Amino acid sequence: MSPLAFVISLPIRFYRKFLGPLLPKVCRFHPSCSTYAMEALEKHGGFKGSWLTAWRLMRCQPFHPGGIDPVP
Amino acid sequence: MNDPLSPQSNDSQKRLLAALALSFVATAFYTFFLAPKPPEPGAEGADAGVVVAAPADAGTVAAAVPTPGSGSTGTPAANEAPALPERKVDVARQEVHYGFTSEGGGLTAAVLQGSKMREQQSLTIEQGFQKLVGKEIPPPPQMNVAQPVPGQPLPLSVSIAGNSPLPAGLRYAVTEGAGGSANGLTFTGRQGPWEVVKTLQWPTQGFELVYAVQVRNTSGQPQNGELQVHYSRAVDPNFEHAPSFFGGVGNLSRAACYVDEKLHKMSPGDDKPKEEDTKGELHFFGIDQQYFLSALYPLDGPRAGHCTLNASPTAREVTASFPLSVAAGETVTLRFGGYLGPKDPDLLAVVPGPDLRKAASLGDTAFHPKLEDTVDFGIWAVLCKVLLAVMKFFHGITGNWGVSIILLTVVVKLVLLPLTYRSMVSMEEVKKLQPRMEEIRKKHADNREQQNLEIMKLYQEAKVNPLGGCLPLLIQMPVWIALFTALRNSFDIYGEPFIGPIWRDLTYKDPTYLLPLALGVSMVITQKMQPQMMDAAQAKMMTWFMPIIFTATLLQYPAGLSLYIFTNNLLSIGQQYGLRKWLDRKKSNTGGGTPAVVTAGGRRK
Q: Which candidate from B452, B453, B469 shows the least CB-CB separation from A61?
A: B469
User: How many CB atoms neighbour CB B279 within 10 A?
Assistant: 15
- Taking each helix axis from N to C terminus, what angle separates B559-589 and B401-430, rounded to the nearest 10 degrees? 40
Residue A62 φ/ψ region, left for φ over 0, alpha for ψ in the -120 to 50 degree band, beta for the rest? alpha
Instruction: Report, as ranges of residue numbers, the positions in chain B whose pLDDT lies below 70.
Output: 1-83, 180, 244-249, 528-539, 590-605
At B602 the pLDDT is 39
- Tell me which amino acid residue B387 is: L
What ipTM describes this predicted complex? 0.90
- A12 contacts in chain B (CB < 8 Å): none
d(CA B597, CA B92): 68
Amino acid at A37: A
Residue B24, pLDDT score: 56
The answer to whether the Cα torsion of A57, A58, A63, A65 is positive or negative is negative
CB B119 within 8 A of CB B141: yes
Give phi and psi for B118, each to the nearest 5.
-125, 165
What pLDDT does B78 receive?
Answer: 42
What residues contact residue B418 under an 8 Å CB cut-off, 6+ apart? A63, B600
* Closest CB to A66 among B465, B473, B541: B465
Give the pLDDT confidence of B24-69 residue by residue, as tens digits. 555 555 555 555 444 444 444 334 333 333 333 333 333 333 444 4
Contact B497, B503 (CB under 8 A): yes
Tell which residue, B372, B369, B343, has the closest CA to residue B356. B369
Please give the sequence-ordered ranges of beta strands (E in DSSP) within B164-272, or none if there are none: 173-178, 181-191, 194-201, 208-217, 223-234, 254-259, 262-266
Question: Nearest Cα to B186, choosing from B516, B177, B313?
Answer: B177
Report the Cα B48 to chain-centroid distance in Å: 25
Among candidates B100, B289, B311, which has minimal Cα distance to B211? B100
Q: Is B361 exposed, middle or buried (0-12, 13-18, 19+ CB in 10 A)?
A: exposed
SS3 annotation, B254-280:
EEEEEECCEEEEECCCCCCCCCCCCEE
d(CA B351, CA B201): 15
The rounded distance, in Å, linking the Cα atoms of B210 and B156 is 11
Phi, psi of B581 (to 5 degrees): -55, -45
What residues of B are in contact with residue A15 (Cβ under 8 Å)? 22, 25
- Choose the mutation target among B470, B475, B532, B545 for the interface with A, i.e. most A CBs under 10 Å: B470
Closest by Cβ to B471, choosing from A14, A58, A68: A58
Q: What is the mean predicted confidence (pLDDT) over A34-38?
A: 93
Phi, then psi, of B83 in degrees rounded to 5: -65, 135
Backbone torsions φ then ψ of B267, nearest 5 degrees: -120, 165
- Give the DSSP H/E element, type plus range, for residue B457: helix B448-462
CB within 8 Å: A26 and B470: yes
Q: Which residues of B touch A (CB under 8 A)?
A: 10-11, 14-15, 17-18, 21-22, 25, 29, 418-419, 422-423, 426, 452-453, 456-457, 459-460, 463, 465, 467-474, 534, 541-542, 545-546
Q: For all residues of chain B together, what is the average pLDDT?
A: 79
Instruction: Name the band, by pLDDT with cuts 50, 70 and 90, for residue A64.
Output: confident
Identify the pLDDT of residue B535.
56
Work out whether strand B194-201 and strand B181-191 pair parallel, antiparallel, or are unpaired: antiparallel
CB contacts of B418 in chain A (<8 Å) are: 63
Residues of chain A by 3-state class (helix, strand, coil), percent to 5: 65, 5, 30
Query: How many whole angstroms separate alpha carbon B596 and alpha carbon B464?
Result: 12
Q: Are the CB atoms for B159 and B230 separated by under 8 Å? A: yes
Amino acid at B251: N
Q: Per-residue DSSP letters for B24-38? A: HHHHHHIIIIISPPP
Nearest to B113 by CA among B146, B142, B138, B148: B142
DSSP state of B371: G
Question: How crowded is residue B202: how many other Cβ atoms within 10 Å of its Cβ?
Answer: 26
Q: Kindly tell me the burial class for residue B23, based on how many C-beta atoms sit within 10 Å of its own C-beta (0-12, 13-18, 19 or more).
A: buried
Predicted local distance difference test score (pLDDT) of residue B183? 84
Cα separation of B81 and B180, whole Å?
28
Amino acid at B366: A
